[in-house]
A = this chain, B = another copy of it.
Amino acid sequence: MAIDFRPRWTDTDLELYRDTAVRFIEREMLPDDGAARQRGHVGHALWRRAGEVGLLCSDIPEQWGGGGGDFRHEAVLYEEMARRSLTGMSVSVHSIVAHYILNHGTEAQKARYLPRMASGELVGAIAMTEPGAGSDLQGIRTRAIRAGGEYVINGAKTFITNGLLAGLVLVVARTAPEQGSRGISILIVETAGCQGYRVGQPLDKIGLRAQDTSELFFDDVRVPADMLLGGEEGRGFAQLMSDLPYERLIIAVMAVAMMEGAYHETLAYVRERMAFGKPVAEFQNTRFKLAGVATSVKAARAFVDRCVEDLVEGRLDTVTASMAKAWASDLQGKVVDECLQLFGGYGYTNDYLIGRMYVDARVQRIYGGTNEIMMEVVARAL
């Protein structure tokens, strides 16, 4: 009897969708992953192919070119990528961007961008973090000053996922610099042919080597005034807050799936690998370590599944999502570390999935709000 980690929230339709995702992943992503890690990005073609087969914007209404599904469709795709540590193409950030537009954009903005995001023509990015402001978003300095029918954007952003390939960047900026969090707005920037917009060198990260995380520079970038997300100034902070459960749950979903992937991969390895005349799987230390891993994964699955169900039913609060993000990513760190150890020297190489997982997993405790910030959020709610 093998241990069953199937999500509780799945059904036949979703499993069919999963088959599509797996086929795409195995045919189009896996074979290129090594090269993408060298290159530092997955390339535009892959995004377009993903759009073609219907894997982008799966939870955006069909009316806007999306898949018409719900968060579970998104989760299916994240799971299948995360369990293989295919971390180059950040569909998650892309979807987050699409959700900002869906939830807060004007009708014109939705019509203009969502279909092109669903097709993969436009890759989405969101630029909050700056060299001087990460956890504390209120410290951002980028400005978008209204000048006639335009906003003039100046500033520098860093650590922007999909930064190189992005065709559409949501820029969090101060439209009323003197006003604190009330003076923050989100601007939509189309990068193609954009004057004054520059993508820096790709960041030399220890993992996520296929992901194009970049610095972005804005020097007198001008966008038409209707590029203000939602059309009203000073709403940026509230817009950012309202989508947090969605964003944080994605990280938790990926954590669980990577742990499952690590578990299966490790189990297979230790059954094959011989030492002292028997499979490594037969040492009691190995057995207990893997039993512990399986137990953790089972618990994590239950927790995150419940959050997924709650999100789909519209009742997942930010505190619970922050808990899930922190707890699952912490656990992911431990689980991947323990699994790697069971591979001996081979675990220390990029040739093995577990080695790639190790370097990729580390960031999960940092981005999307560090786990310390998650604890702050929870502590405030006690």
Label chain A's interface by main secondary structure.
Answer: helix
Q: Are B8 and A306 in contact (CB-based, < 8 A)?
A: yes
Is residue A140 within 8 Å, beta carbon to beta carbon, of the partner chain?
no
Cα-based distance from A379 to B340 in the complex (angstroms): 18
A349 at the interface (CB under 8 A from B): yes
CB-defined contacts of A3 to chain B, threshold 8 Å: 319, 378, 381-382
B283, A298: Cβ atoms under 8 Å?
no
Of B205, B347, B381, the contact of A348 (CB 8 Å cutoff): B205
Interface residues on A, range: 35 or more
A107 CB–B CB distance under 8 Å: no
Q: Is A219 an interface residue (CB 8 A)?
A: no
Give the residue name and chain of the B residue nearest to A377 (CB): B291
Determine if B375 and A291 form an interchain contact, defined as CB atoms under 8 angstroms apart. yes
Find out whether the CB atom of A320 lies under 8 angstroms from the CB atom of B298. Answer: yes
Q: Which residues of B contact A355 (CB under 8 A)?
A: 205-206
| Residue in A290, A295, A317, A323 with the greatest tally of chain B CB atoms within 10 Å | A295
Contact B323 A333 (CB under 8 A): no
A10 at the interface (CB under 8 A from B): no
Can you name 21 A-B pairs with beta carbons within 8 Å?
A: A1-B319, A1-B381, A3-B319, A3-B378, A139-B274, A139-B276, A203-B351, A204-B349, A205-B348, A206-B350, A206-B358, A283-B284, A285-B288, A291-B376, A295-B327, A295-B378, A302-B302, A306-B306, A333-B337, A348-B362, A359-B359
